[in-house]
Each structure stands twice: as C-alpha cells, then as structure tokens.
C-alpha cells in the first residue's frame, strides 16, 4: 500500500504512516511523527513495548484510528504493538 494514513490517538493526529506492508491482520509501516508533545508521548509509550508480548496480548498495545489522507471517510481501528526505529507494527482491531 503506497497510501498515507493519519494516526489518531487521544483524538489528535500524532503522525502519519506510509509504506504499509500487511500480512492478514498485521501491518507494518514507516512512522512520521507530528510536531507535537503528544507525538513524543506516543513514541515513548510505543517504544516501551516488547513486540513479542503485545503480539501475544494485543490488549497491552495502544488503540489508534487510521484515516486515509486521500479519503477522510476511510477509517480503520488498530492496536499499535510496538515501534522500533521508526517502523510501526500494528494489528487491526
């Protein structure tokens, strides 16, 4: 998927994700943070997750909503499993 999506957390856009690769319910992509303190908080929290743990128990992740940059009505619910470097790992909710 080459489309870009906004990532909404706590009702604010904390960044964008691009270069999405998916495997069934799981998605990975390049995270581009917004210039907000909330984005720093999001990165800090997501960076503290162990991917193996949140993969086993997604309820330990962060619930987010993705909205398409091209079609704002296109929304999808995800759980962030981890962020490593700027690669964001998620699972559809």
In terms of C-beta density within 10 A (0-12 exposed, 13-18 middle, 19 or more buried), how is residue 90 classed? buried
Residue 14 and residue 33: Cα distance in Å, rounded? 6
Question: Considering its fold, how many domains does the chain have in total?
Answer: 1
The pLDDT-based confidence of 52 (bands split at 50, 70, 90) is very high
The token pair at 21 is 């690769």
Tens of pLDDT, residue by residue over 67-83, are 988 877 789 999 999 99
Domain that holds residue 45: 5-92
What pTM does this model have? 0.89
Continuous segment of H or E residues that includes residue 25: none
Mean pLDDT across the stretch 36-44? 96
Q: Over 70: is that where the pLDDT of 2 sits?
A: no
């Amino acid at each position: 998927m080459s489309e870009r999506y906004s990532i909404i957390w706590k009702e604010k856009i904390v960044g964008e994700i691009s270069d999405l690769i998916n495997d069934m319910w799981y998605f990975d992509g390049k995270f581009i943070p917004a210039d907000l303190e909330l984005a720093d908080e999001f990165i800090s929290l997501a960076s503290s997750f162990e991917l193996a743990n949140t993969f086993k128990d997604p309820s330990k992740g962060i619930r987010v909503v993705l909205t398409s940059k091209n079609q704002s009505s296109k929304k999808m619910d995800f759980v962030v499993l981890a962020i490593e470097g700027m690669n964001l790992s998620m699972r559809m909710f």
